[in-house]
Structure 1
Amino acid sequence: MKSPFEDSVLSLTVYPRNANQTKGQIRALRLSGRIPSVLYGQGPSENISVCAKNIAFELEKPGIFSRVFQLPNYGKVLISAIQFCSVKDKPIHVDFRRLSKDQKIKILVRIVFLNQDKSVGIKRGGALNIVHHHLEVFAPVDCIPEAIDVDLLNLDIGQTIHLESIQLPEGIQVLHVEKDEAIASIVPPSSGDKTDDQEVSEAQTSSS
C-alpha cells in the first residue's frame, strides 16, 4: 500500500545546469523559461534549473515551503528558499533541500482557520484574534502537513482555542508552543460595534 508520501508528491520539471555559468548565460536561462536552482543536503550540492511556470503555479497556492516535490532523477525535496527580482517580483532563484523517506525534519507549517464566515462568535460581532499563524513542527517527511486546520465553527465570543484542542496529524510534534498556549480566540467587538445581545439588552433598558 502506498504511503501519503508517495501519493501527494508533486513533480517539477528539472534540468541539469553547469556550475560555472556567466551572468549572460544565467540571464539567457531565465529568458528561456527556467529558474537557476541549487539542490542541497545529503551529499554535494548540485546545480540545476527548474521550469519557471511550475514555480509560478505553485506560488499561487499557500504553503509552498511545506510541500514535498519530486525532482525526476534527483529525488524528493522541499523548497528552502526563493529569491525574487526586486523590480518584477518574479522568482529568479530557488534552493531545494533533499529528503529521504525515513528522516524527520523541523519545518514551519501554516495554520488555516476554517469556517470564519460561520463562526458563532464572529457572526455575533466578535473578531478573530490570531496568536499563531504558523507552528514549527518536527515531522517525518512522509507525512508533512501542508497546513494544520483549526475549526472556528462553534467558537463564541470570549472563547479560546488552545494547542491541546487541535487534532494534529499522526507523528507530528509541535516544538515552540506549549499545550495550553492560545492559538486563536474570538474577542468582543470594539466599543463602536455591538453584538445582537448587547442591542437587545440596551433596548430593554431604555424601554423600562
Structure 2
Amino acid sequence: MTNFTTIEASTREEAGKGAARATRREGLVPAVIYGARQPATLISLDPRVVMRELTKSGWRSRLYEVNAGGGASVRALMREVQLHPVTDRPIHVDFQRLAPGEQIKVAVQVVFINEETSVGIKRGGVLNVVRHTIEVSVDPDHIPANFTVDLAGLDINDNVRWSDVKDVENVHPVIADRDFVIATVAAPTVVAELEPVAAAAAAPAAPAKGGSKAPSKPAAGKPAAAKPAAKPAGKK
C-alpha cells in the first residue's frame, strides 16, 4: 500500500541559524529528522529534490527512505517545508522519524474517480468536495498512498461518507464520533433571468385625440397683455 521514495542527503554537524545560513550559501537546504525517541539528525538536501517532491500530490503522507552520509537509511515522513517568502524556494525541511508499530497521525489525500460517469453529475449536478484529505492514525507499515472514492453511482443530493471508503482496515480516522461526509453531489444552481418589462409600460403615454389643448404659456421675456378694465354701467 505504501510508496517508498528514496532521498539522498548529506549530514551536517552544527545546528542553529548561522549553520543553516551557511548551508544555504552552499546551495543546499538544511533539514532535520526528529522523533521515535532518538536524537535529532541534521542533514542537508538538494533543493531540486525537495521541489520535485512538493510538485507531487500527497507528499505529506508519502513514506521516505532518507539516506544520509552512507549510513543506514531512515524511514520518515516529510512534515513541514518552509519556503522563502519571495522566491518560494525551500529553505528548511522537517522530517518525522518513524518507528515500527508506533501509531502516527497523517493526512491522506482523497482521489475521486469516475466523475464523468456519475449519474448526478451527468444530470447537471456539481461535485462539492468537503474533505480533500482525511487525517488518520496508522502504523507506518500501512500508510495508504491515498483514499479512492468512486463517484459512478452517485446521483444528485447523494454523498460519500467515511463508511463508503474502501481499503481502510488498518487505519483509524481521527474524527471517530461520526460517519463524516467527504463529498456530495449538489443540485445545479439555476440563475433566474429577469422578465423583460412590457414595452407599453416603459413607453411615455400618448396624448388623447380631440382633447382640448392646454393654454400656451407666454413667450419668455414678453409679459402677457393685460385685459381692459370693465366699463361702468350707464344711467337709465
Instruction: Give TM-score scaled by structure 1 length.
Output: 0.81
Comparing 137-146 with 30-39, which one deviates more in the overlay? 30-39
**Unpaired runs of at least 5, structure 1:** 194-208
Matches within 5 A, 1:146-165: 146-165=145-164
2:23 maps to a residue whose letter is L
Post-superposition offset of 1:115: 2.1
Runs of 4 or more, structure 1, over 4 Å off, are none
Comparing 81-90 with 48-57, which one deviates more in the overlay? 48-57
Matches within 5 A, 1:47-126: 47-72=42-67, 73-126=72-125
Partner of 2:5: 10
Post-superposition offset of 1:155: 1.0
Kept in 1: contact 2:15–2:42 (CA 8 A): no
Post-superposition offset of 1:177: 5.0
Change (3 A) 1:153 1:53: same
Kept in 1: contact 2:110–2:148 (CA 8 A): yes
Kept in 1: contact 2:118–2:151 (CA 8 A): yes
SS in 2 for 1:45: strand
Larger Rg: 2
1:39 aligns with 2:38: no
Post-superposition offset of 1:29: 2.8
What CA distance in whole angstroms lies between the structure 2 residues aligned with 1:133 and 1:149?
11
Tell me which protein shows more helix as a share of its residues.
1
Partner of 1:189: 188
Kept in 2: contact 1:162–1:179 (CA 8 A): no
1:34 maps to a residue whose letter is L
Partner of 1:130: 129
Aligned residues: 187
Post-superposition offset of 1:178: 4.6
What CA distance in whole angstroms lies between the structure 2 residues aligned with 1:40 and 1:152?
39
Comparing 179-188 with 157-166, which one deviates more in the overlay? 179-188
Change (3 A) 1:63 1:135: same
What CA distance in whole angstroms lies between the structure 1 residues aligned with 2:105 and 2:17?
35
SS in 1 for 2:39: coil
Question: 1:36-61 CA deviation, whole Å, 9 max, x = no partner?
Answer: 00111121112111221211111111
SS in 1 for 2:60: helix
SS in 1 for 2:87: coil
1:54 maps to a residue whose letter is V
SS in 2 for 1:83: strand
What CA distance in whole angstroms lies between the structure 1 residues aligned with 2:114 and 2:129?
14
